[in-house]
Amino acid sequence: MTTVTRATEDVLALEELLRRMWQIRAFELRAMALFEENLIRGSVHPYVGMEAIAVGVCAALGLNDYITSTHRGHGHCIAKGLDLKLMMAEIIGREDGYCRGRGGSMHITAMDKGMLGADAIVAGSSALAVGAAHGLRLRGSDGIVVCFFGDGAANQGVLHEACNLAAVLRAPVVFVCENNEWAISTPAAASTRIADIAERAAGYGFPGVVTDGNDVLGVRDVTAEAAARARSGGGPTLIEAKSYRVTPHSAATKTDLRPPEELDAWRARDPILRFSRRLAEEHGVAPARLEQIEEQSRRDVEEAVEFALASPRPAPEAALEDVYAPAEWLTPGRLA
């Protein structure tokens, strides 16, 4: 791979990373507010504090590459270039949403953007990512698949199976563990006896890397290396991005057992503010420009909310559509 050095960084590309991170932040805070206003059903799982992971990872991916996501998936979607309007319409349950209101917050899918789907079964999409990666190779694509999962998912059985199968197949897949320290109320330290989940990669015979999940460029660079390895037939990599979710597990979760001082410490390491400072100090981006990016991101999200609220609610009859793909045997009323 070619390691991008600071001196050769394209400032416009860096500003784009910042913009994506602010969009995620604004989107999540707005979604939480919409939940409080009862405009969102069920729940939303905000990605606040973890924006650098999704944006850094997706910055290293190309148009032929795919991702799988989790219940906490909005950040992955935005980082992969999905449309905020269609996302918000989906989350509010409207016809113009990515999934026509069938999936909601936890199941956004957009194949045209390389988004294989968000999966609300913890670790559920890990095997799917391996198969998609193998399938892409079989079909002659140079695409790879990134599988996002959390520290909580790290102890699920299917992830073990998926990692091992990926290794055996040398599948072009990158496993990205977003270690945000807490699985709802259970700290990662209470769920495993190892300090770094990345250590487990050794057990599968592929590299494991720990990276600072609040450093967007660091995440981008380790992902670029892993992606190049996958693409060239070198097999999988496990990246563990250490970060923290600053917001509660979900908008509907009212109990938060995390110590306030821990939250404060992580807020001080905010990935967006940190990257903003770096852009100002190392790349000469003016404060006014940084503010403008933040402001514009908020406006983008407001436009998405307006679009979503103006979108029609799905017709009740549509609930019976798309259970099956078109087939000869699928005559109307047949499955009623």
Size of the site for another protein (CB under 8 A): 56
Q: Of residues 71, 94, 134, 242, which one binds another protein by CB under 8 A? A: 134
* Measured distance CA(162)–CA(149) in Å, rounded: 12
Task: Give yes or no for a contact between 307 and 85, defined as CB atoms under 8 angstroms apart.
Answer: yes
Q: Does 91 bind another protein (CB under 8 A)?
A: no
Binding range to another protein, per CB under 8 A, among 34-42, 111-119, 275-283, 286-294: 111-119
The answer to the question of residue 307 lying near another protein (CB under 8 A) is no
- Specify the residue, 128 or 280, whose C-beta has the smaller distance to another protein: 128
Length of the chain as a residue count: 336
Neighbouring CB atoms inside 10 A of 91's CB total 30
202 lies in the binding site for another protein (CB under 8 A)? no
CB of 280 to another protein, least distance (A): 41
Nearer to another protein, 138 or 268 (CB): 138
Q: Per rule CB under 8 A, is residue 236 in the interface with another protein?
A: no
The distance of closest approach from Cβ of residue 24 to another protein in the complex, given in angstroms and rounded to an integer, is 22
Task: Determine the interface stretch with another protein among 5-13, 48-56, 118-126, 225-233 (rule: CB under 8 A).
Answer: 118-126
Question: Is 111 near another protein (CB under 8 A)?
Answer: yes
**Shortest approach of another protein to residue 128 CB, angstroms?**
4
Among 23, 70, 109, 276, binds another protein (CB under 8 A): 109
Q: Which of 73, 97, 208, 236 binds another protein (CB under 8 A)?
A: 97
Binding of another protein by 170 (CB under 8 A): no
Helices (H), 123-232: 125-138, 157-169, 201-204, 216-231
Nearer to another protein, 19 or 134 (CB): 134
47 with 74: CB under 8 angstroms? Answer: yes
Contact 51, 272 (CB under 8 A): yes
**Rule CB under 8 A: is residue 234 a binding residue for another protein?**
no
| Beta-bridge partner residues of 174 | 146, 237
Smallest gap from Cβ 263 to another protein, in A, equals 33
* Sites for another protein among residues 30-89 (CB under 8 A): 66, 68
Q: Write out the two tokens for 189.
A: 């330290």
To the nearest whole angstrom, how small is the minimum distance from the Cβ of residue 81 to another protein? 16
Of 119 and 221, nearer to another protein (C-beta) is: 119
Binding mask 135-154 for another protein (x = CB under 8 A): xxxxx-x---x---------
Query: CA separation (Å) from 255 to 38, 44, 191, 207, 248?
Result: 19, 15, 20, 37, 8
Q: Is 330 in the site for another protein (CB under 8 A)?
A: yes
Contact in structure between 191 and 151 (CB atoms under 8 Å) = yes
Q: Which CB atom, from 135 or from 218, has the smaller least distance to another protein?
A: 135
189 lies in the binding site for another protein (CB under 8 A): no
In sequence order, what DSSP letters do the residues of 284-334 get, joined into one string? ---HHHHHHHHHHHHHHHHHHHHHHHHSPPPPGGGGGTTSS---TT--TTT
User: Of the candidates 220, 238, 61, which has an alpha carbon nearest to the alpha carbon of residue 144?
Assistant: 61
Alpha-carbon distance values, 188 to 6, 108, 159, 165 (Å): 34, 27, 16, 25
CA distance 311 to 290: 32
323 binds another protein (CB under 8 A): yes
What is the number of other CB atoms lying within 10 angstroms of the CB of residue 202? 11
In the complex, the residues that contact another protein under the rule CB under 8 A are 66, 68, 97-103, 107, 109-111, 116-117, 119, 121, 124-139, 141, 145, 157-158, 160-162, 164-165, 168-169, 321-330, 334-335
